[in-house]
């Protein structure tokens, strides 16, 4: 199959100056020597390290909070070729506090192209290829094949399994980072015979409702910065083959910015029965090519969310335009306090869904035969809240389909986006 990357030029390596010109012997051109001198001065790096680095290709998947700092350090260090892969998101103003490769001027622009522009400003000699398609199971092998090292800077479970399975199949070292809130994690997979893959450590995915995202749970900007930067360190160690370097495999770094504690934990070795990198007892379970594996059902399995049957009995956002109805009802916004404090609809009080079960009795005593109207950001938690209330015997509760997002779209475009 043709590579989704098209024709990639062969890696040239850093330009070496002609030997003995005007009686001077030098390893690289003046520009290269000057630009990379501080890392070449390093005892274990040197000219040879720079040469190896310039002949390696690194793929950064995800141009967000992890991918920006990782790619910026890799491009500035002189990696031979850098691939950027992102699912075609455009830069949003709410990305900028952490996705430092983008600027206010690039809000609305394609993330891959915006990041590439930043990298070219830092190091105009960089060789950068971009694809705004994201990693897909179908093309995972072809997308990863042309690269020596892969960085997982994505933000979702499905991509993490696809990337790891493809790296396991191709035995490509995978530098995996993640961050949310004040915490980050880092590990390197598949970099040696004994090194496990992501699936060795996590054979089953978490239930979808246990997975937070930076968009909903929030994140302190520099926390993914710390982890993305550490991913660049690991990638440079691998690419330059730095002597004596110990890559973070069979280990995981846990960083907690809130307490400023860093721990390194020891992980198991490669599993002999891993579906991706071992030989499972039932050989039909073996994942040879991610294209043949159904990641959608795999990551959805084990959901413990309340199934949303129908929208019957739920309110359209436009129902909130009826001021009289709101006035007579008990209106509860079940988002976390931090979100409620940022913006809310007048007349709503805040009882976060995590505190709701404690408040049920109070609500029951207070509500009488009043209607209860529940709202949240997108209409998922509020539906859960309705079913919690029904279970507790509170019958007259309903919620708003699509939550505050729908309110903004259908009724009040002035309501803040966050």
Partner 1 sequence: MTSVVLEFSGGLELLVDGKKRLEQEVPDKLTLGGLIGWIRSNLIKERHELFSQGQRIRPGVLVLINDVDWELEGKETYNLSSGDCISFISTLHGG
User: Which residues would be at the binding site for partner 1 (CB under 8 A)?
Assistant: 62, 64-67, 153-157, 160, 177-181, 183-185, 201-207, 210-214, 217, 219, 224, 252, 254, 256, 259, 263, 265-268, 302, 304, 354, 357
211 phi, psi to nearest 5 deg: -100, 115
Residue 274 interacting partner from partner 1, Zn ion, none (CB closer than 5 to 8 Å by kind): Zn ion
68 catalytic residue (yes or no): no
Residue 42 interacting partner from partner 1, Zn ion, none (CB closer than 5 to 8 Å by kind): none
Nearer to partner 1, 88 or 212 (CB): 212
Residue 323: exposure state from Cβ atoms within 10 A (0-12, 13-18, ≥19): exposed
Residue 101 interacting partner from partner 1, Zn ion, none (CB closer than 5 to 8 Å by kind): none
Minimum separation from the CB atom of position 47 to partner 1 (A): 34
* Structure token pair of residue 45: 């790096």
**Position 167 contacts Zn ion (CB under 5 A):** no
Residue 11 interacting partner from partner 1, Zn ion, none (CB closer than 5 to 8 Å by kind): none
Nearer to Zn ion, 100 or 248 (CB): 248
**Looking at 115, 276, 331, 397, which residue binds Zn ion (CB under 5 A)?**
276
Minimum separation from the CB atom of position 185 to Zn ion (A): 18
**Position 274 contacts Zn ion (CB under 5 A):** yes
Residue 197 interacting partner from Zn ion, partner 1, none (CB closer than 5 to 8 Å by kind): Zn ion
Which residues make up each annotated binding site? 65, 86, 94-98, 111, 155-156, 197, 200, 274, 277
Minimum separation from the CB atom of position 389 to partner 1 (A): 15
Minimum separation from the CB atom of position 177 to partner 1 (A): 7
Query: Which residue in 411, 403, 312, 324 sits closest to 371, CA to CA?
Result: 324
Give the 3-state DSSP-derived string for the chain, with helices as H, strands as E and coil as C: CCCCCCCCCCCCCCCCCCCCECCECCCCCHHHHHHHHHHHCCCCCHHHHHHHHHCCEEEEECCCCCHHHHHHHHHHHCCCEEEEECCCCECCHHHCCCCCCCCHHHCCCEHHHHHHHHHHHHCCCCCEEEECCCCCCCCHHHHHCCCCEEEECCCCHHHHHHHHHHHHHHCCCEEEEEEEECEEEEEEECCCCCCCCHHHHCCCCCCHHHCCCHHHHCECCHHHHHHHHHHHHHHHHHHHCCCCCCCCECEEEEEECCCCEEEEEECCCCCCCCCCCCCCCCHHHCCCCHHHCCHHHHHHCCCCCCCCCCCCCCECHHHHHCHHHHHHCEEEECCCHHHHHHCCCCCCEECCHHHHHHHHHHHHHHHCCCCEEEECCCCCHHHHHHHHHHHCCCCCEEEECCHHHHHHHHCCCCCCCC
Nearer to partner 1, 48 or 183 (CB): 183
Length of the chain: 418
Which residues make up each annotated binding site for Zn(2+)? 197, 200, 274, 277
Of 167, 214, 248, 331, the catalytic one is 214
**Position 199 contacts Zn ion (CB under 5 A):** yes
**Looking at 82, 188, 197, 351, which residue binds Zn ion (CB under 5 A)?**
197
129 catalytic residue (yes or no): no
Nearer to partner 1, 123 or 384 (CB): 384
Minimum separation from the CB atom of position 152 to partner 1 (A): 8
Nearer to Zn ion, 169 or 372 (CB): 169
Minimum separation from the CB atom of position 17 to Zn ion (A): 45
Nearer to Zn ion, 200 or 351 (CB): 200
Angle (CA) 303 308 312, round 5°: 175
Region of 58-66, 179-187, 193-201, 358-366 interacting with Zn ion (CB under 5 A): 193-201
Region of 21-29, 106-114, 226-234, 266-274 interacting with Zn ion (CB under 5 A): 266-274
Which residues make up the interface to Zn ion (CB under 5 A)? 197, 199-200, 274, 276-277
- Which amino acids are annotated catalytic? 214, 376
């Amino acid at each position: 199959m043709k590579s989704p990357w098209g024709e990639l030029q062969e890696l040239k390596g850093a330009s070496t100056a002609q030997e003995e010109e005007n009686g001077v012997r030098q390893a690289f051109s003046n520009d290269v020597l000057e630009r990379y001198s501080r890392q070449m001065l390093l005892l274990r790096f040197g000219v040879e390290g720079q040469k190896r680095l310039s002949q390696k290709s690194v793929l950064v998947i995800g141009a967000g909070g992890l991918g920006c700092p990782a790619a910026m350090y890799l491009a500035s260090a002189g990696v031979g070729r850098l691939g950027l892969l992102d699912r075609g998101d455009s830069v949003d103003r709410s990305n900028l506090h952490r996705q430092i490769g983008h600027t206010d001027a690039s809000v609305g622009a394609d993330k891959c192209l915006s990041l590439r522009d930043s990298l070219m400003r830092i190091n105009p000699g960089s060789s950068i290829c971009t694809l705004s398609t994201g990693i897909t199971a179908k093309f995972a092998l072809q997308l990863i094949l042309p690269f020596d090292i892969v960085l997982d800077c994505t933000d979702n479970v499905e991509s993490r399994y696809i990337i790891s399975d493809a790296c396991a199949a191709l035995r490509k070292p995978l530098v995996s980072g993640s961050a949310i809130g004040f915490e980050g994690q880092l590990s390197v997979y598949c970099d040696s015979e004994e090194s496990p893959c992501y699936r060795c450590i996590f054979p089953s995915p978490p239930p979808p409702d246990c997975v937070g995202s930076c968009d909903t749970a929030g994140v302190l900007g520099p926390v993914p910065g710390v982890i993305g930067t550490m991913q660049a360190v690991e990638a440079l160690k691998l690419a330059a083959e730095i002597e004596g370097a110990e890559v973070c495999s069979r280990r995981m770094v846990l960083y907690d910015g809130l307490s400023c504690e860093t721990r390194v934990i020891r992980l198991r070795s490669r599993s002999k029965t891993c579906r991706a990198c071992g030989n499972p007892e039932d050989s039909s379970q073996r994942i040879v090519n991610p294209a043949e594996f159904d990641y959608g059902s795999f990551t959805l399995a084990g959901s413990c969310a309340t199934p949303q049957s129908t929208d019957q009995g739920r309110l359209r956002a436009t129902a909130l335009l009826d001021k009289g109805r709101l006035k007579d009802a008990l209106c509860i916004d079940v988002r976390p306090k931090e979100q409620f404090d940022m913006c809310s609809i007048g007349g709503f009080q805040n009882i976060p869904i995590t505190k709701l079960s404690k408040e049920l009795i109070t609500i029951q005593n207070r509500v009488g035969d009043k209607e209860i109207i529940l709202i949240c950001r997108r209409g998922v938690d509020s539906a859960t809240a309705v079913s919690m209330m029904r279970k507790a015997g509170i019958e007259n509760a309903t919620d708003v389909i699509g939550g505050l997002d729908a309110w903004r779209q259908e009724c009040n475009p002035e309501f803040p986006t966050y």
